[in-house]
Structure 1
Amino acid sequence: MTHRIIPADPFTIQVSDGEIADLKERLARTRWPFEQDGNENWDYGTNLSYMERLVSYWRDDFDWRKQEAWLNSFKHYRATITDDDDTDHEIHFVYERGSGPSPIPLIMTHGWPSSFREFLDVVNRLAHPEKYGADGPSFDVIVPSLIGYGFSSKPRKPLGPGAIADLWHKLMTDVLGYDTYAAEAGDWGSFVTSRLALQHADAVRAIHLTMLPLRPYVKDKPVTKEEAGWIKEMQAWWRQEEGYRTIQSTKPMALAFGLHDSPAGLAGWLADKYYRLGDTKKHHPFEGMEERFPMDTILTQFSIYWFTGTINSANTLYKSGPAEGTASLKQGERITVPTAYSEYPIDTLPLTPVSWAERGYNIQRFKEMPRGGHFAAMEEPELFADDVRDAFRELLG
């Protein structure tokens, strides 16, 4: 382990009483939209009856101070890291050292519409498995907020996953002093982690992903019949679900005024993705949603976006990511770092063919999970933590 070069300062989440009062006042003034018949299953987007319940709870029953105290029960830090363009970024991260003599350094990266909170239910399970009746390995767990999300800084010049990956490498090496480390992620975090493995293969020992984002180069090897069928099914899925992505990847600023100014608007926009991508029962307008994502859990996520004012800087990753051009592997490029992939049954895409996964990644472990969705660490923390632990035990020996 090398010496520290960049200091990290302890950080405490502190939302003012005035900000909490302002949120409640805005919620009390919510103007409800007209909802046509036929939206019981959210076919037109977020269901009105669910939103009425959510906003009422957020206004009258949600205790931010209680959630804030729970968030602060973890060890938070912020570090200023300079990118290759000589721009400084404040990176917020949770850091829990693992039990035992040789825990594995593990950086875990969230996506959209999530925050660092997504992984908090598994931090101690991974850092201290013995407390949960599980065998090792244990991990030094590092959970950063993506740039532009939560308590990290908002970039004046939007960054893509490749640039963020370089910052993550500096966080792990220059701030925390690790020579080598492992990484885990889903959604946008899987883009960052894949680029981390590609750009810093000498330092990244292994990765675990719940999404395989980098598109392989296929011109020199035509797709198989199975792969072609999967691509067709995937494209059909996206035609039904890509509205949010289309807006955020083209005109995020046009959307920002409504979401930044209205907490109900913010919640309505984000809730739809939790309903669609989470392992939620779809039999009722709100019962399945509330069972999978209890009010306190989902509103902590939404409140982090609200109090930090980061919805637009978070959404803009959908524009800056493609603009960076790092989502496609070039001819001859492949992730050589040992990779474990776990696919949860309710996620953004149909089941990925193993052959497709192996085109772009050094797949050493491919597992289809029995339950859970896009927010797996939050939805199924015990299942998720056991899988991550088992995966790195196999990959690293």
Structure 2
Amino acid sequence: MFTEVLVGLVIAGLIFFLVQRSKTQVLKTEDGWWGPGVPPEDGEDFTIRPYKVTTGDEELEDLYRRIDQTRPIPSLEDSQFNYGFNSQYLQKVVSYWRNDFDWRRQVDKLNQYPHFKTNIEGIDVHYVHVKPKNLPEGTSAVPLMMVHGWPGSFYEFYGMIPLLTEPSDPDDLVFEVVCPSIPGYGYSEAPHKKGFDSVCAARVFHKLMKRLGFQQFYAHGGDWGWLITTNMSQLEPKIVKGLHVNFAPPSKPGLPMILSIMLGRRFPKLFGFTDMDIERLYPCMEKLVVESIKESGYMHIQATKPDTVEKFSTWTDHDFRSLDDGGLTRKFSLDDLLTNVMIYWTSGCIISSMRFYKENFSKGLNQPHEKIPVHVPTGFACFPNELMHTPKLWVKQKYRKLKTFTPMASGGHFAAMEEPQLMARDIQSFTKTLEKKKKK
């Protein structure tokens, strides 16, 4: 009798566990106020204001004066980019910046798309909003938010925007794109109070999309944009129709991940590991640890003392450390790199952008969003030179409705800017998969 009762309790407990586990958990959050002082008594201002990037002689003269007064420190012989940005090549870049780079022309390029600002939770949020010019009759545009990271900006997506809003293939979906600046980055106002983390940014961006009239939308992100859009999917999974990311480091190692690390090299098929997985995970665990240490010093600084600062070289390809020019112009133009720098410089946002690390890491590594799976349909673009390789098995631990997993031919951490064609194509493929199912 006792045995039967015990078995019954175990079965009941197992059923309860499975039912509870099957429920879609939703991330909880509360409204905040990030403006100076206390919220106004007359409530929040919902006005949407056109914004234009501007520059003037005084701003440029100040920059040139500072460049002219900079004292270069010689690099060690034969050090390439292994000690940081090589000083000799840096002087060439600085000379180009000072004498040839045309910021006014780049400002015109930035303004080719409509910019706006609106106040949310006390701070002005900047965003680029691009609607398709020639929408085929009888069709509607697919709303898509794309979120950048550090040390990037909304400008990362400028190569992708025309591919998504004006696709050349008539069978492609036509997107309406919203690219916000994370608060404290670019032309978005920085929070005036402590505690603004990725969940706060996710909440603010949800409010932005609602203010723009979107009932549902797709989201894409890399770097911090990956975490913010993931949090958006956890906060309101019924509003985010689909999530596309190109960065998904495992937040919490589970048993499948641990077993796959221990046994994956010997039994790859058991864990669905491909040749790419084996090549990137098992060159040598010691090498993986060393590479991580080499490239993560900035994170410790910014997660602890951010108010005290080159990633477009080594985050694009680790092997670029061995090149005298850091391989910078193999993937990007100096004009594009300097435009990104100028967005930080002219807005004065470098410190506030780095504070975002402290706000996220100071709360510990066991935050509620780390424990909650994502039940929004997800697509993952796996670029070969990303900082960390994440096999399909690991991605599925967090993103339970993984619809597409695409090994990409080339590209690194700044994939949207480096490989806009590949990224746009993968977003197209992923979104088509969901939209076709919806029509059926």
TM-score above 0.5, yes or no: yes
SS at 1:93 equivalent: strand
Please say if 1:379 is aligned against 2:424.
Answer: no
Q: Do 1:217 and 1:329's aligned partners in 2 also have CA atoms closer than 8 Å?
A: no
Please say if 1:108 is aligned against 2:146.
Answer: yes
* Aligned residue in 2 for 1:251: 305
CA shift for structure 1 position 281: 6.6
* Aligned residue in 1 for 2:162: 124
Greater Cα shift, 209-218 or 19-28: 209-218
Paired AA for residue 143 in structure 2: P
Please say if 1:340 is aligned against 2:379.
Answer: yes
CA shift for structure 1 position 324: 4.3
Paired AA for residue 111 in structure 1: G
Q: Do 2:234 and 2:369's aligned partners in 1 also have CA atoms closer than 8 Å?
A: no
Please say if 1:170 is aligned against 2:217.
Answer: no
CA shift for structure 1 position 344: 1.0
Q: Do 1:281 and 1:289's aligned partners in 2 also have CA atoms closer than 8 Å?
A: no
The CA distance in 2 between the partners of 1:348 and 1:331, in whole Å, is 20
Match 2:131 to one of 94, 97, 116:
97
- Provide structure 1 residue ranges, at least 5 long, that are not aligned to the other structure: 83-87, 256-271
Paired AA for residue 341 in structure 1: F
* Aligned residue in 2 for 1:10: 50
SS at 1:15 equivalent: coil
Q: Do 2:186 and 2:343's aligned partners in 1 also have CA atoms closer than 8 Å?
A: yes
C-alpha spacing 1:183/1:353, structure 2 compared with 1 (3 Å): same
1:107-256 matched pairs, under 5 angstroms: 107-129=145-167, 132-133=168-169, 135-158=171-194, 159-173=196-210, 175-213=211-249, 215-216=251-252, 218=254, 223-226=258-261, 230=281, 232=285, 234-255=288-309
* Aligned residue in 1 for 2:66: 26
The CA distance in 2 between the partners of 1:119 and 1:237, in whole Å, is 28
CA shift for structure 1 position 16: 2.3
Q: TM-score, normalised by structure 2?
A: 0.78
Q: Do 1:191 and 1:327's aligned partners in 2 also have CA atoms closer than 8 Å?
A: no
C-alpha spacing 1:383/1:332, structure 2 compared with 1 (3 Å): closer
SS at 1:168 equivalent: helix
CA shift for structure 1 position 329: 5.7
Match 1:65 to one of 88, 91, 104:
104
C-alpha spacing 1:228/1:295, structure 2 compared with 1 (3 Å): farther
* Aligned residue in 2 for 1:394: 433
Q: Do 1:215 and 1:327's aligned partners in 2 also have CA atoms closer than 8 Å?
A: no
C-alpha spacing 1:228/1:36, structure 2 compared with 1 (3 Å): farther
CA shift for structure 1 position 254: 2.2
SS at 2:218 equivalent: strand
Question: Could you report, residue by residue, the CA deviation over 1:143-191 in whole angstroms, capped at 9, with x for unpaired residues?
Answer: 0011100000011124110000000000001x10111111001000101
C-alpha spacing 1:163/1:136, structure 2 compared with 1 (3 Å): same
CA-atom RMSD in angstroms: 2.2
Larger-gyration structure (1/2): 2
* Aligned residue in 2 for 1:260: none
Question: Could you report, residue by residue, the CA deviation over 1:343-391 in whole angstroms, capped at 9, with x for unpaired residues?
Answer: 1111211x21211111111211111110111111211111221111111
Q: Do 1:227 and 1:353's aligned partners in 2 also have CA atoms closer than 8 Å?
A: no
SS at 2:171 equivalent: coil
* Aligned residue in 2 for 1:36: 76
The CA distance in 1 between the partners of 2:422 and 2:67, in whole Å, is 36
The CA distance in 2 between the partners of 1:46 and 1:247, in whole Å, is 18
CA shift for structure 1 position 13: 0.6
Q: TM-score, normalised by structure 1?
A: 0.87
Percent pairwise identity: 33
Question: Could you report, residue by residue, the CA deviation over 1:285-324 in whole angstroms, capped at 9, with x for unpaired residues?
Answer: 1173123121101000001100000000001111111234
